[in-house]
């Protein structure tokens, strides 16, 4: 018998958060929890809201229903975060338009992946989604030109550009020297997830955002679904914001034949199956066609691992489990490749550097023992 997604292990605070995020899908669920007036740890609830980056939606929903069980100081704290986020998103919108113009003038094609365009597209309101930076996707062969443009616009790379492997890595992070605004310059959708759509394909299916005067382009609906799915899974869904994005994305009129063909081509079908199940069980996301919701053994297992990740447990286990067999082999082999921290722990002369390979398991074990003792002593 196939088990279902186990919500019983979730804390009351997390269950309450699920109900708030899924309020539009199932208002009765939140109303029932409020009628029961379970004793919640409101400070812990606020910690969860902050961690999952969903305070704008939480504040807007709680303000709308105006229920007495929410302490005034919690609503006040949420309002402060909501207001600060609104100003930040307005600023990012202006910066997004400025950078898009500068890159376009330099002949660089670009697609905005998240940020203000995603907030407007999915929520219809810039203030209802958080974003700490702008994610800009450019063709791999234009990444160097884009780097020059960002530098000329006052941005400084936070990473060593010379050490970045374009085939292995997928982005560089920049920060503005005056405003501290951040931009992630991407040349791939995701890091090391195998094959993915070529930029030229994404560009041919691009959509124009309606929130700026200068043309700003973003991913088409089906490509956006593909990205939100693979991005959330790659990060273990440890922020509910990403699942909330998918909940809103699923309310769009999507071409499921195209989505399924693309997921099948790039071997990500298993991600869709368990993520739809997860969204349905956690947020009450309506699944329009029953055949799109699979509750087989593998989907349930992956959905439960994702739920553990959302709860702050077993993030690494979920990330490893969703890898393809080839990615798993590569992941295991990389465990034996020496890292910088190995050389920091044991300095060997260059002539003996080959010894780092056999010594790596020993050094890894020593680090774990040191961390364990430090944890116990604290």
pLDDT band at 268 (very low <50, low <70, confident <90, very high): confident
Using a pLDDT cut of 70, give the percent of the chain over it: 89
pLDDT of 8 reads 84
- Pick from 25-34, 124-133, 274-283, 361-370: least confident: 361-370
Model confidence at 24: pLDDT above 70:
yes
Model confidence at 311: pLDDT above 50:
yes
pLDDT of 290 reads 44
pLDDT of 80 reads 97
pLDDT of 1 reads 46
- Cβ within 8 Å of residue 49, ≥6 positions away: 17, 55, 58, 78
pLDDT in tens, 117-139: 999 999 999 999 999 999 999 99
pLDDT in tens, 189-235: 987 656 789 999 999 999 999 999 999 999 999 999 999 999 999 88
pLDDT band at 371 (very low <50, low <70, confident <90, very high): confident
Model confidence at 45: pLDDT above 70:
yes
CATH 3.30.460.40 corresponds to the domain 12-334:
yes
pLDDT of 173 reads 93
pLDDT band at 47 (very low <50, low <70, confident <90, very high): very high
pLDDT in tens, 314-357: 788 887 777 766 666 666 666 666 767 777 777 777 777 777 77
Which residues belong to CATH 3.30.460.40 in the chain?
12-334
pLDDT of 330 reads 65
Mean pLDDT of 146-154: 95
Average pLDDT score, the chain: 87
pLDDT of 323 reads 74
Model confidence at 71: pLDDT above 70:
yes
- Looking at the DSSP bridge assignments, the partners of residue 182 are 133, 175
- Pick from 168-172, 181-185, 340-344: least confident: 340-344
What's the CA gap between 147 and 150, in Å, rounded? 5
């Amino acid at each position: 018998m196939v088990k279902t997604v186990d919500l019983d292990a979730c804390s009351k605070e997390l269950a309450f958060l699920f109900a708030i995020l899924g309020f539009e899908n199932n208002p009765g669920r939140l109303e029932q929890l409020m009628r029961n007036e379970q004793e919640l740890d409101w400070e812990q609830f606020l910690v969860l809201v902050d961690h999952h980056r969903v305070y704008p939606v939480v504040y807007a929903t709680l303000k709308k229903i105006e229920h007495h069980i929410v302490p005034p100081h919690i609503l006040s704290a949420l309002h402060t975060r909501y207001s600060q986020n609104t100003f930040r998103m307005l600023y990012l919108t202006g910066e997004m338009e400025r950078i898009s113009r500068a890159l376009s003038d330099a002949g660089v094609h670009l697609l905005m992946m998240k940020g203000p365009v995603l907030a407007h597209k999915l929520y219809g309101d810039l203030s209802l989604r958080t974003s700490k930076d702008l994610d800009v996707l450019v063709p791999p062969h234009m990444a160097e030109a884009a780097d020059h443009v960002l530098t000329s616009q006052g941005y400084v790379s936070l990473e060593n550009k010379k050490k970045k492997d374009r085939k292995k890595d997928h982005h560089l992070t920049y920060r503005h020297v005056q405003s501290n605004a951040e931009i992630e310059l991407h040349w791939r959708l995701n890091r090391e997830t195998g094959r993915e759509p070529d930029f030229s394909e994404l560009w041919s299916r691009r959509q124009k955002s309606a929130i700026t005067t200068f043309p700003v382009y973003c991913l088409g609906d089906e490509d956006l679904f593909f990205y939100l799915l693979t991005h959330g899974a790659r990060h273990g869904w440890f922020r509910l914001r990403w699942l909330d994005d998918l909940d809103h994305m699923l309310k769009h009129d999507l071409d499921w034949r195209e989505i399924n063909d693309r997921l099948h081509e790039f071997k990500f079908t298993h991600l869709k199956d368990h993520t739809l199940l997860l969204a349905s069980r956690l947020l009450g996301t309506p699944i329009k066609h029953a055949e799109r919701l699979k509750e087989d053994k593998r989907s349930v297992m992956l959905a439960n691992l994702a739920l553990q990740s959302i709860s702050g447990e077993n993030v690494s286990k979920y990330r490893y489990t969703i890898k393809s067999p080839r990615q798993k082999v590569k992941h295991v082999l990389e465990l034996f490749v020496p890292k910088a921290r190995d050389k920091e722990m044991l300095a060997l002369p260059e002539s003996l550097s080959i010894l780092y390979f056999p010594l790596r398991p020993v050094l890894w074990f020593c680090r774990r023992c040191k961390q364990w003792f430090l944890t116990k002593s604290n």
